[in-house]
């Protein structure tokens, strides 16, 4: 019997073959940024000039309760240009046709820290007249976020 026939070798191959540095989460978007854990408690989507803006937050937020700066608020803002509004997976980027993502946190004194992310992806599952559904996966410079979202599309 050679070393490739041993059960330990097979287990190692299975582990290596299944490993990934990409964060995965089948539940609602969660993760960490700015040294704090993030879980979505509310969100909404808006359309302006053909672009869809999705906002996810760690506090209650909806079409009737839009976000305002508040102590300890964390938010994730996703911009979906028209080229990324069909079902599919899109890499984050800086071009006008790529989706953009930014994370913002407010301290207890309302000090704001924001950053734009360019490594990761956004998946669009469905966009209709009432909601935007998709997923995101980001791991960049201390920001690790992944999971699904389904947010109401606010009427204009």
Q: Where are the domains of the chain?
A: 29-152
Residue with tokens 């992944």: 146
Per-residue model confidence (pLDDT) at position 110: 87
Give the Cβ contact number of residue 18 at 10 Å.
7
Q: What is the mean pLDDT of each run of 10 residues along the chain (156 residues)?
A: 41 32 67 91 95 95 88 95 97 94 91 91 96 96 94 89
Residue 25 pLDDT: 60
* pLDDT the model gives residue 49: 95
Give the pLDDT confidence score for residue 139 in this predicted structure: 94
Contact at 8 Å (CB) between 139 and 153?
A: no
Give every CB contact of residue 105 below 8 A, 6+ residues apart in sequence: 33, 34, 36, 72, 73, 74, 75, 112, 113, 114
pTM of this structure: 0.81
Cα separation of 86 and 48, whole Å? 17
């Amino acid at each position: 019997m050679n070393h490739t026939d041993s059960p330990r070798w097979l287990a190692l191959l299975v582990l290596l073959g299944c490993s990934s540095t990409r964060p995965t989460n089948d539940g609602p978007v969660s993760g960490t940024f700015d040294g704090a854990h993030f879980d979505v408690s509310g969100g909404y989507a808006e359309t302006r000039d053909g672009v869809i803006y999705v906002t996810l937050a760690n506090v209650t937020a909806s079409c009737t309760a839009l976000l305002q700066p508040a102590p300890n608020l964390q938010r994730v803002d996703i911009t979906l240009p028209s080229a990324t509004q069909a079902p599919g997976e899109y890499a984050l980027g800086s071009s006008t046709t790529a989706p953009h993502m930014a994370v913002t946190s407010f301290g207890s004194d309302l000090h704001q820290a924001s950053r734009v992310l360019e490594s990761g992806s956004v998946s669009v599952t469905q966009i209709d007249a009432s909601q935007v559904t998709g997923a995101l996966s980001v791991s960049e410079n201390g920001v690790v976020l992944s999971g699904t979202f389904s947010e109401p599309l606010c009427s204009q």
